[in-house]
Chain A
Amino acid sequence: MSFWVGDWTLITSRERLIELARRLRDDRDTAFDFCSDVTAVDWLARAERFDVVYCLYSTRHRHRVRLKVRAADGVSVPSVTALWPAANWLEREVFDLFGVRFDGHPDLRRILMPDEWQGHPQRKDYPLEGPGELLMENPLDWLKLRNEIE
């Protein structure tokens, strides 16, 4: 638990996420009934590279909290859609853009990118400028392709 420039942040483990989230929602003193946002941050150099961030708000007490869960590449996080219906599309967006899978999500499809898209664009190792940059990372491949085109 930490406090930073005016916002409270809770960091928890994947196993305890659902238990903690349910308590935050149902306890009278917290009453976080409003799921404001679910998003992720990619810290490429870290072993558990993704921070999945849940921004919660209480309409009764008018306070906010951020809940964070860490996940490595390929590790799935339990879904909170059953607790907050608003999280449905938000978790789909995190899956689409970061490739974090959510266990127990009713409809885990891509949402912003086309269904047949390869890769997850918001990852830090995803290039900004299409395949040209990918090929530039391996100049031999790039030379080979250029020779074939010529």
Chain B
Amino acid sequence: MTVNMGPQHPSTHGVLRLVLELSGEVVVSADSTIGFLHTGIEKTAEQKKWQQVIPLVERMDYLGAQSNSLAFSLSVERLLGVEAQMPERVRNIRILIAELQRIASHLVWLGTHALEVGAVSVMMYCFRERELLMNVNEMLAGFRMFPSYIRIGGLREDLPPGFHDAVNAFLARFPSKLNEYEDLLTKNQIWIKRTSGVGALSREDTIAYGLVGPLARAAGVPYDVRKAFPYLGYDTYTFDVPTGINGDVYDRYLVRIEEMRQSLRIAEQAIARITPRGQFDIQDYRIVPPPKDKVYTEMEALIQHFLVYSQGFTVPAGEAYIPVEGPRGEHGFYIVSDGSNRPWRIKARPPGFYACQALPKMIEGGLIADVIAVIGSTDVVMGDVDR
């Protein structure tokens, strides 16, 4: 029997379509189809100035929005050659934001994944803590999902008053809540029976299919961009990279839970290094707009302000790819510049794209009821896959 699952299925995380060939309850073959959410962001970006691309790329991976803008900014800053001018404070703030973003993204994953497998109440717990992180975003930039706070050349503005209190309150509260989720799931017999041994991928297969992030680490590939190619000074932070053994849905769950603990460790170190007020961009006014009080009083600053907003800035011709460790794994933008004020080409490397490609490999031979658990464990965001 052939079953068409999706694109409107509630647990396909957006619009993923699977055509399953069944024999009884066993999936004989599967074919995944993507593209229903294709919005041509890469094409649109070629018509925008460099700085205008930031809000666009944040809408790709909408659960880990700020890892998009971080990856894009890092690549552009490499081409501009301004990495060395970046203040230490900005790097630490970026790391803090990236780690909080990872926790927020993993909370959505945990909530929806558990909901789909049948543990409905976990979602309520997860979204309760995620709300606090959304509030932090709102505080930073006025936006909750897509703050566009990380800009090329630094940050949009300085930290708001009360930022440290809000983050510290979250960091103090979260460890006990994390234990609460684990109490609900980790030793839950139903949870283990639904997830253990399901959708397993071997170490070789994850490498062959280009899988990264928690999917690869659950299979024992200890690849983490933060350790392999440290960016923003991650090498000065103490944290571990958790890996699994079996590469199944349960191991992916354990890896992500542990990742949240490690993110918490990094966030605690980062918030201690950040001063409430200070420099928040490279102060090179060809790239970042000058402060508003100078714009109103100085001719030079007014001209620079006008130029940054009307013509943007030019980026030297060349190409760069600086990956970051996003919530779903290695995530980066391959950017090509022809020396003008607009990108010639940007290409995202969406981790979910590879997961969708490997999905048939994970579900073939398994039961149809497990398909949902496997899709949930891959944590694909279709906005990211289809771009």
Interface, chain A (partner B; CB < 8 A) = 4-7, 9, 33-37, 39, 41-42, 53, 55, 59, 62, 64, 66, 84-86, 88-89, 110-114, 121-122, 124, 126, 128
Q: Interface readout for B353-375 with A: 1 if CB under 8 Å, 0 if not? A: 11011000000000000000000
Determine whether B158 belongs to the interface, using a CB cutoff of 8 Å to chain A.
no
Interface, chain B (partner A; CB < 8 A) = 34-35, 38, 40, 42-44, 46-47, 78-79, 81, 207-210, 221, 223, 228-229, 318-321, 330, 334, 336, 344-345, 347, 349, 353-354, 356-357, 386-387
Bound complex: CA A124 to CA B345 (Å): 10
CB distance from B231 to the nearest CB of A (A): 11
Bound complex: CA A84 to CA B211 (Å): 12
Known contacts A36-B330, A37-B334, A37-B347, A113 near B38 by CB under 8 Å: yes
Residues from chain B with Cβ under 8 Å of A89 in the complex: 353-354, 356-357
Closest residue to A111 on the B side, CB-wise?
B35
User: Does A86 lie within 8 Å of B228, measured CB to CB?
Assistant: no
Closest residue to A34 on the B side, CB-wise?
B207
Known contacts A53-B334, A112-B34, A34 near B386 by CB under 8 Å: no
User: Does A7 lie within 8 Å of B321, measured CB to CB?
Assistant: yes
Residues from chain A with Cβ under 8 Å of B357 in the complex: 86, 88-89
Closest residue to B316 on the A side, CB-wise?
A5
User: Does B386 lie within 8 Å of A121, measured CB to CB?
Assistant: no
Bound complex: CA A84 to CA B357 (Å): 13
A36: contacting residue among B78, B210, B336, B344, CB under 8 A = B210
* Besides A112-B34, A122-B42, 5 new A-B residue pairs in contact (Cβ under 8 A), listed by A number: A34-B210, A37-B349, A89-B356, A110-B35, A112-B386
User: Does B386 lie within 8 Å of A86, measured CB to CB?
Assistant: no
User: Does B35 lie within 8 Å of A55, measured CB to CB?
Assistant: no
Residues from chain A with Cβ under 8 Å of B210 in the complex: 34-36, 84, 86
Bound complex: CA A121 to CA B386 (Å): 14
| The 9 residue pairs across chains A and B that have the minimum distance between CB atoms | A86-B210, A112-B35, A112-B38, A39-B347, A89-B357, A41-B345, A85-B208, A37-B349, A86-B209
Residues from chain B with Cβ under 8 Å of A113 in the complex: 35, 38
User: Does B43 lie within 8 Å of A121, measured CB to CB?
Assistant: yes
User: Does A36 lie within 8 Å of B349, measured CB to CB?
Assistant: yes
Residues from chain B with Cβ under 8 Å of A110 in the complex: 35
User: Does A4 lie within 8 Å of B208, measured CB to CB?
Assistant: no
Bound complex: CA A128 to CA B45 (Å): 11
CB distance from A126 to the nearest CB of B (A): 8
A128: contacting residue among B47, B229, B345, CB under 8 A = B47
A42: contacting residue among B79, B320, B345, CB under 8 A = B345
Bound complex: CA A6 to CA B81 (Å): 11
User: Does A121 lie within 8 Å of B40, measured CB to CB?
Assistant: yes
Residues from chain A with Cβ under 8 Å of B354 in the complex: 86, 89
Residues from chain A with Cβ under 8 Å of B334 in the complex: 37, 39, 53, 55
Residues from chain B with Cβ under 8 Å of A122 in the complex: 42-43, 345
CB distance from A69 to the nearest CB of B (A): 15
Known contacts A84-B208, A84-B210, A121-B40, A7 near B320 by CB under 8 Å: yes
